[in-house]
Amino acid sequence: MERNIKLVENEKSRGMKFILFLISPLLSLIYSLNSLNTKSSRVVIFLFCLFFGLAFTVTDIRTEGSPDGITYRSLFQDYHGIGKEAYQQTAQEYFTFSGVVKDFYADTMAYVVSRFTDNYHIFFMVIAMVFAFFQIKTLKYLTDNKNFVAGVTCLLLVFLFTFVSIKNINGLRFWTAYWIACYCLFRLILDKRLIYLIPIATLPFFHASFVVVWILVGLYYTTGNLSRIWTFLLILSLFLGNLSLSLIQENASYLPEFLTRFVDYYASDEVVARVNAAGSGFYLMDRIFPVLVNIYLNVMLLLINRERSKTMDPATKRLLAFTVIVVSFANFVMPIPSLGKRFMILSYPLIAYLWLDVFGTHRYKNYLYIMPIVFFMSIYHLIEAYVQNVDVLFYISSPIIDLETVLK
């Protein structure tokens, strides 16, 4: 796996980024897009995420369709008012499997931060710090690739790679686990660092559904070399995915107990119906565009997979084998929205990296140019999320003003 020659950045460019940051974090972030393979740009992204977390605002009243962040604010405030005995009791239930606690990251972070402050903005800033650290460490794989250059093509791949962005601290458990998983998978598969099996083993601590990553990694190590079979399964999964829900429900009893409870929740008719329920005035478009996105990404992967027989770096072949397994799994369980859609998104950074490494910035570039059209509704909801929980002044004012506002 070849890495890009590090861009030597002049002092003027570095200074401009931080001057712009003091004026507006968003301006500095936009300016940094032209040099994402520099350390100063990564620092800007990290600082932007930190201040976004600090500015993140939710009410303390949970209603139907309200952001998940309200739940985590309430959790944090609850922990501020209780002693360590309650936390220890929850910990005992989690580690002995004697209660209903499925994961323990949010509780731990809420408890620890609540020992120092009652300001929930600080809590979300700490969450953003962990989230951004692993996102930026993973993004470095893309920006250090030999084919990465400043331009529209690479920016589109960056968009795909970082589709799970800082606004996802709203669902802090799953999406923090997501970036930790992505980073560990790149280290494990591209760099062959087996030591990263240890943090992968801890992923259910952050979100219980990440036992799925154990299964995917197990499939990779046992069957990843069966490329023809997995290519067939990838294509088959596109057509048979709709049958998978009933198959999973009917055969859940044959799974280990911890997986049975997992399936009983995520594949239940009530949960599926709730996630599939209309959530906006764009209901029909929200049904059509996710299908287009799924087809678009599957075609991307099939185009990459077609190059397997040609000269391809061994590390790239390993990552490709794992990505085919991830997408095949996601396709089969797509009727379970909380499972299929989420783990399809796990493939986004993998596909973006593979595309850049295999095709560079010129081959099939017209296919990349239609990405904004295919992702139209995703971009709409992305913008919607960025203005929903953060005051618009955050994007156009100095972070010093934001800091004074949330801490007073």
pLDDT at 284 over 80: no
Report if pTM > 0.85.
Answer: yes
How many whole angstroms from its chain centre is CA 365? 25
pLDDT at position 287 is 77
Output the six-digit token pair for 369: 């140019």
Which helix H or strand E contains 402, and what residues bound it? helix 399-407
pLDDT at 257 over 90: no
Phi-psi region of 76 (alpha: psi -120 to 50; beta: other; left: phi over 0): alpha
d(CA 170, CA 173): 9
pLDDT at 274 over 70: no
pLDDT at position 195 is 97
Query: For the chain, what percentages of helix, strand and coil (3-state, to nearest 5) are there?
Result: 75, 0, 25
Give SS3 for 3. Answer: strand
d(CA 375, CA 388): 20
d(CA 259, CA 215): 11
pLDDT at position 62 is 73
pLDDT at position 265 is 55
pLDDT at position 254 is 52
DSSP 252-295: GGGS-HHHHHHHHHHT-HHHHHHHHS--STTHHHHHHHHHHHHH
Q: How many C-beta atoms lie closer than 10 Å to residue 55's C-beta?
A: 23
Residue from 80, 339, 112 nearest 207 by CA: 339
Partners of 145 in beta bridges: 3
Angle between helices 283-305 and 314-332 (to 10 degrees): 150
d(CA 190, CA 312): 13
Name the more confident of 266 and 220.
Answer: 220
Give residue 312's pLDDT band: very low, low, confident or very high (50, 70, 90): confident
What mean pLDDT do residues 360-375 have? 93
DSSP 201-256: HTHHHH-GGGHHHHHHHHHHHHHTT-HHHHHHHHHHHHHHGGGHHHHHHHHGGGS-
Contacts of 265 (CB under 8 A, 6+ apart): 271
By percentage, how much of the chain surpasses pLDDT 90?
57
pLDDT tens, residue by residue, 24-51: 999 999 999 999 999 999 999 999 999 9
Residue from 100, 99, 106, 103 nearest 76 by CA: 106
Output the six-digit token pair for 113: 């931060």
What mean pLDDT do residues 265-273 have? 53
What mean pLDDT do residues 369-386 have? 93
pLDDT tens, residue by residue, 67-81: 788 999 999 998 887
The domain locations on the chain are 66-118, 217-389
Contacts of 194 (CB under 8 A, 6+ apart): 188
How many whole angstroms from its chain centre is CA 288? 22
pLDDT at 314 over 60: yes
pLDDT at position 250 is 53
Give SS3 for 145. Answer: strand
DSSP character at residue 2: -
What mean pLDDT do residues 386-406 have? 80
